[in-house]
Amino acid sequence: MAVTVAVGNRLITRHLLSGRVAIDYPDVELVDAGPAPAPIFPAMVTTRPYDVGELTIGNFIVAKDNGVALVALPIFPNLFFPLTGVTVNNGAGISEISDLAGKRVGVPLGFASNPAVWLRGILANHHGVAPDSITWVEGENDSLRSVPYPKPERFAREQMSDLDARLAAGDIDALVVAGGNATQADNVRLLVDDPYPLLQRYHEETGVFPINTLLVMKEESATEHAGLADAVCKAMDEATALYMDEEPDDSVHQGLLAGDLRRIGLFPRAQGLDVHGASVRAVVDYLYETEIIRRRWTLEELFVA
């Protein structure tokens, strides 16, 4: 029976789907999760239909904290900066990041979605904005809707549909997505015009380049298919090297230009926990500080040995 590997058809992982880079393991079936793999995320944390799949790091840690039998590979295909994906209504009185305090912020994929988790941590630790001063308005596409994670009462939460339209109408003040696909209308604009100085300073202070997605395995697949994790990691190392070497400066990596990432020293960027371990620890801290997970998970507990 084939082992299945489901990844997005974009950025680094497209080199697997195109066949340019092969996973050196018997009978691997690659599954194209589309240019934005979010539709597979709810299944990844419930029915787990694939042996290996792409998932946001926030979803993975929350699922792990709730007993979902997944283990991570030290492979991070998609990095981002949450402030790149924040749009605001022009009438909301938001001229700088600190003005988000007391506002109504839409999170299309739910309170514990990856952009929301990273944004809260960065606001609290680097911009003096208390996350519980914000009303978090959840969309209808919560990828963790079937995972019973803690929902601390100190955070005001509401639900609405069609958050893009709600932002344009002024029903919410701001909206956060992963970056690169933020909706703009005549009365809606990006909160941050030039995110690179903010990202560079954040990285200099913390050693962190925020992670959007990583690769995860079913725990039983890691046991039953010896060598699969290593084969996937080796293939992704090769695909990453191709991507970093060949991607033109004007290409977009989750809302960030590759050339600007090279200019501030964040590209090229290899895989592995030596490079990304600080980022994993940061998102664990952000989840724990907001009481979405019950304890601080270690790298050894989260990743394959």
pLDDT, one tens digit per residue, over 8-30 is 999 999 999 999 999 999 999 99
pLDDT tens per residue across span 17-63: 999 999 999 999 999 999 999 999 999 999 999 999 999 999 999 99
Which residue carries 């489901």 as its tokens? 6
Contact between 178 and 8 under an 8 Å Cβ cutoff? The reply is: no
Query: Which of 173, 204, 235 is the C-terminal boundary of a domain?
Result: 204
Domain total in the chain: 2
Q: What is the spatial distance between Cα 122 and Cα 130, in angstroms, rounded to a whole number?
A: 10
Average pLDDT for residues 134-144, to the nearest whole number? 95
Half-sphere exposure of 49 (CA within 13 A, CB side): 11
Q: What is the spatial distance between Cα 186 and Cα 35, in angstroms, rounded to a whole number?
A: 27
Domain that holds residue 120: 82-204
Is the domain of 195 the same as that of 92? yes
Is the domain of 52 the same as that of 100? no
Query: Which of 161, 176, 204 is the C-terminal boundary of a domain?
Result: 204
Is the domain of 150 the same as that of 97? yes
Q: Is the peptide bond before 210 cis (omega within 30 degrees of 0)?
A: no
Is the domain of 98 the same as that of 160? yes
Is the domain of 88 the same as that of 199? yes
Is the domain of 218 the same as that of 150? no
pLDDT of residue 24: 98
Q: Side chain identity at 246, as an amino acid letter?
A: E
Would you state the structure tokens that stand for residue 154, as one six-digit string? Answer: 């100190």
**pTM score, whole prediction:** 0.97
What is the CATH classification number for the domain harbouring 61?
A: 3.40.190.10
Dihedral angle over CA of 282, 286, 292, 294, nearest 10: 60
